[in-house]
Amino acid sequence: MQKSEVLEKVFGFNSFRSFQEEAVDAILEGRDLLMILPTGGGKSLCYQLPSLLMEGVTVVVSPLIALMQDQVRGLNENGIRAATINSDMNDEERQEVFTGLREGSIKLLYVAPERMSASGFIGFLQSLKINFFVIDEAHCVSEWGHEFRADYRKLHLLKENFPQVPVAAFTATATPKVEADIHAALRLHEPLKLRAKVFRKNLTIRAQKRVSNGRTQLLNFLQQHRDESGIIYTFTRKETEQLAAFLQSRHISARAYHARLSPEEKSEVMRDFMYDKIDIVVATIAFGMGIDKSNIRFVVHTSLPKTIENYYQEIGRAGRDGLESETLLLYTKGDEIQKRELMDSVESDAYKQVLYDKLQTMYRFALSSSCKHKLLALYFGDEGEACGDKCDSCLKAPVEQVEITKEAQMFLSAIYRTGERFGQNHIIDILRGSQAQNIMKFGHDKLSVYGIGELRNKNEWGMIADRLFELSAIQLGEHRALKLQKEAIAVLKGHEKVWIDEDKLGNITRLKTAAEEIEKDETFEAFRSLRMKIATQHDVPAYIVFSDKTLHELSRRLPKNKEEMLEVNGIGEVKYERYGEAFLELSRELQAS
């Protein structure tokens, strides 16, 4: 078969997405490949499709057992023989896979990077006909990345032991520096490099300063996503359990997931989520790269992520099917301080500074009034343009700016006059004329700046401090002390004026979301109910039967026969034979009603 036939008959798609065909061609030509494609861009198809057109087995290196199992399940449901070898399997199960590999009946083998260092495994692979290697989540190779894993660093063994076998590396997140490190660490030979745009046009990004514990803001957000799948990321294990219990008390279907759960509990939560038995998982970042669920409609962070890379990868789990999805980030300055203190234990001063800088960049991103999509694009070395209506900054009606140069000078002057040795709350107390014990203890009630900012409340001064952080005029030093940067000098001397959006000095308002304007589609809900019934019968996650995107297209087209069903994206011959008749029957009923 030709690649276009495989695309249509096996995967059920009429055309390739951006960059997919170039990647497929490179693999078929025997070239090394380095592909950076945002989550939801269709990376898996780029290596699964050429594997079906080539002799031999494709070996896929993947970081998590859950991710491997999910990929294998999806391939087998699509009529493609795939298997994994992992530490959860017993000897009999592993032996069955080895036998299948020797007989040539397995097309794709998924293994963890640690497996490559296991005694005798490289030798076993050398006895097989391997068409190419795939390195998934390739950013784990790089010490400059956000999820470095030492075993990924050893994958240069592939080029040493299989010099003639191509290697295809894939990741959703890589700065130019990380990209260069992947190239070097894997010893890729003149690879085709494909880097897609960072912008995810189906993803709306929002960031709000967290008010109190943020639960009112969260409930307002979740009201727009009733009965939809989503992930809520929290900072601690305790928070996951408390927040999940809170949501359950509000009759919201949610469960907690964190590293201290037993393997059985983790599997149960994961299974319930993947099979749509619960809507929401409240998780620490332990609920990570193993999520290959296509119909996640929202991702929430209840505190500041450590890096832009973490944030971009986590929000990328929403809308993998290309349908409209939404993200919400709730943050405070305290989040940055808390995470910075955890980084203080890092032994390497150079690496510690890298972590500090990444954290501060993440905080400035949250604060910024600039287009969030553009900021992400620029961070990853992409040319960014304002998104128009896909982030809270661009969705806001034009906001009048207020000059706060005088207040900024007060704040910076107070930092200077206290020797850059005190934190934000102390500086605000000085400006507001507080008689707190610490103010008197250090004699700061005698300073010329004492009490000169009493007309502004604490929240307003907090927003002014945030604006100065955003402008890089100040930054955190040791023990939370505020330090002046060179940008502060121009403000203090009156050479630079400081402005802030007027609404940032007032109350936080909730923006109207696109989801508020969308009524439930009864036709789609009918198809979704049928999908759940069939998924339960076949014991597979609902999205593996058909994606939400496929159901929406079915709802619009209401096909009358098999030929029209096969024209729907995501329905190939195998899927139709397995599930198609039931959906076709429902389609005819809906059309007649």
Bridge partners of residue 500, in order along the sequence: 402
Instruction: Look at strands 296-301 and 229-233 and give their pairing.
Output: parallel
Amino acid at 455: L
Q: How many angstroms separate the CA atoms of 151 and 113, rounded? A: 6
Q: What is the structure's pLDDT at 288?
A: 59
Q: What is the structure's pLDDT at 497?
A: 95
Q: What is the mean predicted confidence (pLDDT) over 433-438?
A: 92
Q: How confident is the model at residue 357 (pLDDT cuts 50, 70, 90)?
A: confident
Q: How confident is the model at residue 519 (pLDDT cuts 50, 70, 90)?
A: very low
Enumerate long-range contacts of 236-240, CB under 8 Å, 24 or more apart.
236/284, 237/284, 239/282, 239/302, 240/282, 240/283, 240/284
**How distant, in Å, are the alpha carbons of 3, 4, 324 from that of 15?**
11, 8, 21
Q: What is the structure's pLDDT at 442?
A: 94
Classify 543 as helix, strand or coil. Answer: helix
Q: How confident is the model at residue 66 (pLDDT cuts 50, 70, 90)?
A: confident
Q: What is the mean predicted confidence (pLDDT) over 316-341?
A: 90
Q: How many angstroms separate the CA atoms of 76 and 70, rounded? A: 10
Q: What is the mean predicted confidence (pLDDT) over 48-67?
A: 92
Q: How many angstroms separate the CA atoms of 45 and 292, rounded? A: 13
**How distant, in Å, are the alpha carbons of 120, 151, 172 from that of 123?**
5, 18, 31
Phi, psi (rounded to 5 degrees) for 525: -60, -35
Q: Which of 3-17, 31-45, 404-418, 508-522 has the highest mean pLDDT?
A: 404-418
Classify 593 as helix, strand or coil. Answer: coil
Q: What is the structure's pLDDT at 44?
A: 92
pLDDT exceeds 50 at position 506: yes
> DSSP strand E in 513-568: where?
none
Strand order in the sheet with 82-85: 82-85, 108-111, 57-61, 130-135, 167-171, 33-36, 192-195
49 sits in the region (left: phi over 0; alpha: psi -120 to 50; else beta) called alpha
Q: How confident is the model at residue 397 (pLDDT cuts 50, 70, 90)?
A: low
Q: What is the structure's pLDDT at 255?
A: 96
Q: What is the structure's pLDDT at 173?
A: 82
pLDDT exceeds 80 at position 143: no
Under 8 Å between Cβ of 36 and 85: no
Residues 531-579 pLDDT 10s: 999 998 988 888 889 988 899 899 989 999 999 999 998 898 989 999 9
Q: How many angstroms separate the CA atoms of 584 and 593, rounded? A: 14
Q: How confident is the model at residue 144 (pLDDT cuts 50, 70, 90)?
A: low
Q: How confident is the model at residue 71 (pLDDT cuts 50, 70, 90)?
A: confident
Residues 285-311 pLDDT 10s: 767 555 678 899 999 999 999 999 889
Q: How many DSSP H helices and E strands does the chain contain?
A: 28, 17
Flag the least confident range among 10-24, 140-154, 179-193, 472-486: 140-154
Q: How many angstroms separate the CA atoms of 304 and 311, rounded? A: 9
Provide the percentage of residues in the chain whose pLDDT is more than 70. 95
42-78 per-residue burial string, b: 16 or more CB within 10 A, e: under 16: bbbbbbbbbbeebeebbbbbbbbbbbbbbbbbbbebb
Average pLDDT taken over every residue of the chain = 89
Residues 438-497 pLDDT 10s: 999 999 999 999 999 999 998 899 889 989 998 989 988 888 899 999 999 999 999 999
Q: How many angstroms separate the CA atoms of 103 and 525, rounded? A: 44
Under 8 Å between Cβ of 11 and 169: no
The one-character DSSP state at 564 is H
Q: What is the structure's pLDDT at 106?
A: 96
Amino acid at 15: S
Residues 252-265 pLDDT 10s: 999 999 988 888 89
Task: Quote the distance between the C-alpha of residue 53 and its chain's center.
Answer: 31
Q: How confident is the model at residue 510 (pLDDT cuts 50, 70, 90)?
A: very low
Domains and CATH numbers, the chain: 3-195 (3.40.50.300), 203-395 (3.40.50.300), 401-505 (1.10.10.10), 518-592 (1.10.150.80)
Closest CA to 186 of 167, 170, 172: 167
Q: What is the structure's pLDDT at 439?
A: 95
DSSP string for residues in 488-501: HHHHHTTSS--EEE
570-588 per-residue burial string, b: 16 or more CB within 10 A, e: under 16: bbbebbbeebbeebbebbe
pLDDT exceeds 80 at position 524: yes
Q: What is the structure's pLDDT at 107?
A: 96
Task: Quote the distance between the C-alpha of residue 538 and its chain's center.
Answer: 29
Looking up tokens 């305290």, which residue turns up? 334
